[in-house]
Structure 1
Amino acid sequence: MKIKKIGHCCLLIKTNDVTILTDPGTFSTEQNSIKDIDLVLITHEHADHMHIESVKEIIKNNPSVKIITNSSVGKKLEEAGIPFILLEGSAKTEFGKVSLEAFDCKHGEIFEEIGQVQNTGYFIDNKLFYPGDSIYFDPKLDIEVMALPVAGPWCMLADAIRYALAVKPKKVFPVHEAMLRPELIGLAHNIPKKVLGDHGIEFVPMIAGDEHEF
């Protein structure tokens, strides 16, 4: 599995001859010109994860692409005339040789009900777990790689580290840190790298533009 971090939570994943893009939001634009995308996974409706204009550009460049998401995002896609495939709850499906499994993951709390929307995590190809904006839900799976949110108005670094320790993936890489100033990115990487490494979990630092083979 090869993962390129486009930015924030927008990832380009290539696995078993399937190319998957996650969460094309407003914090990145490179996704708008990528071709040969088979699937787009959208975890929730917040603009940093789902930008309708970006989705339209992706479809323009990839006419046969399939958009996979939950009911909440689906309503917004329907309003824009964009077809989608529903995958939420504990549903499973396959595309080619790639399996996808959905998990309802409560969105991290900003304050009480502010910003609370349906958030769906996805287990991709029995290898990568991407929880969206959640650091609470343990899917209780044998996870090789996890995309770990490390910053945000709902995410303290200490809680993110505890989440990784609870889920126990073999490797993690950071997402959801585009709102940090560049000089603070290292802090959000170095601390979990040290703590998780002490517990046998490899932390793979990735910034926008980085690509890694997992």
Structure 2
Amino acid sequence: MRCLRLTHAGLVVERDGASLFVDPGDFSDRGEIAAAIAAVHAASAPPAGIVITHEHRDHWTPENVTAIREAALGIPILTTQATAETLAEAGIDGARVVLPGDRITAGPFELEFYGGRHELLHSSIPVIENVGVRIDDTLAWGGDSLVHPPFRADALGIPIGSPWSNLAQVLDFTLNAAPRRAYLTHDGILSERGLGLFTQRVRACLEQAGGELIRLPHVVKDPGARLEL
């Protein structure tokens, strides 16, 4: 399995001549999505599916999903009920609703879904659906949730700098999940110094449980770079 990042909260995974796009949100502009599509085609790994953890725009946009689907007609979109309805309203049909506990195949990828709810933003804002995904029993990504995964992840996304969490919650999540490896997400609104603070603290928590902080290369900075998991 080979991985690269999109800005803020998205990622792309490649395996066995196919790729999986996860949460291609609005921190990724058209140029970045085009670069990611070109990168997977250059690696002879065209898109085989799209996973969208929930309905917020920083995790998907109609333009980004349409661009990925135009590069690989008919690929499945796996998401929540509310997101599937919003996709349909945008003219994007055929999304498959997934629930925690579902196990689904998309191309060569074995997907296991978990979680179920978005973290609380504020008491005045309704809590929405959110599904995390584990890919090939290796890479786990919870979307906008700090729920303890029902497994010890080999590699887990740690959301930092999000408007629905604070540093203490992120560190507790890291300690409780105790992944073997972790990568940082949700850094799109952080300054360089803020990113450094989160990086330092998360790394220290990982080391307490014998874990390691890893970095997924960004598609715009180096389209040919991948992290092997």
- TM-score of the superposition, structure 2-length normalised? 0.85
Give 1:172 shift.
Answer: 0.5
1:131-174 per-position Cα deviation (integer Å, ceiling 9, x unaligned): 00001x22321320101101111121221121122122100000
Query: Of 157, 176, 180, which aligns to 2:186?
Result: 176
- Whether contact under 8 Å (1:98, 1:125) holds in the other structure is yes
- Whether contact under 8 Å (1:40, 1:68) holds in the other structure is yes
Note closer, same or farther for the CA distance 1:56–1:95 as it changes in structure 2 (3 Å cut).
closer
Give the 3-state SS of the residue equivalent to 1:24 in structure 2: coil
Q: Which runs of 4+ in 1 moved over 6 A?
A: none
- Whether contact under 8 Å (2:160, 2:167) holds in the other structure is yes
Unaligned stretches of 5+ residues in structure 2? 220-224
1:174-198 per-position Cα deviation (integer Å, ceiling 9, x unaligned): 0111011234222221221122113
Aligned residues: percent identity?
26
**Aligned amino acid, residue 126 of structure 1:** D
Matched, 1:213 2:228: yes
Matched, 1:13 2:13: yes
**Aligned amino acid, residue 31 of structure 1:** I
**Aligned amino acid, residue 176 of structure 2:** A
Cα distance between partner residues in 2 of 1:115 and 1:49: 18
Cα distance between partner residues in 2 of 1:115 and 1:193: 33
Cα distance between partner residues in 2 of 1:85 and 1:21: 15
Unaligned stretches of 5+ residues in structure 1? none
Matched, 1:161 2:171: yes
Note closer, same or farther for the CA distance 1:176–1:115 as it changes in structure 2 (3 Å cut).
farther
Q: Mapping of 1:1-214 within 5 angstroms?
A: 1-29=1-29, 30-33=32-35, 34=37, 35=41, 36-82=46-92, 83-114=94-125, 116-135=127-146, 137-206=147-216, 208-209=218-219, 211-214=226-229
**Aligned amino acid, residue 33 of structure 2:** Q
- Whether contact under 8 Å (1:24, 1:55) holds in the other structure is yes
- Whether contact under 8 Å (1:105, 1:131) holds in the other structure is no
RMSD between aligned alpha carbons? 1.9
Give the 3-state SS of the residue equivalent to 2:6 in structure 1: strand
Q: Which segment is superposed worse, 177-186 or 39-48?
A: 177-186
Q: How many residues were matched structurally?
A: 213
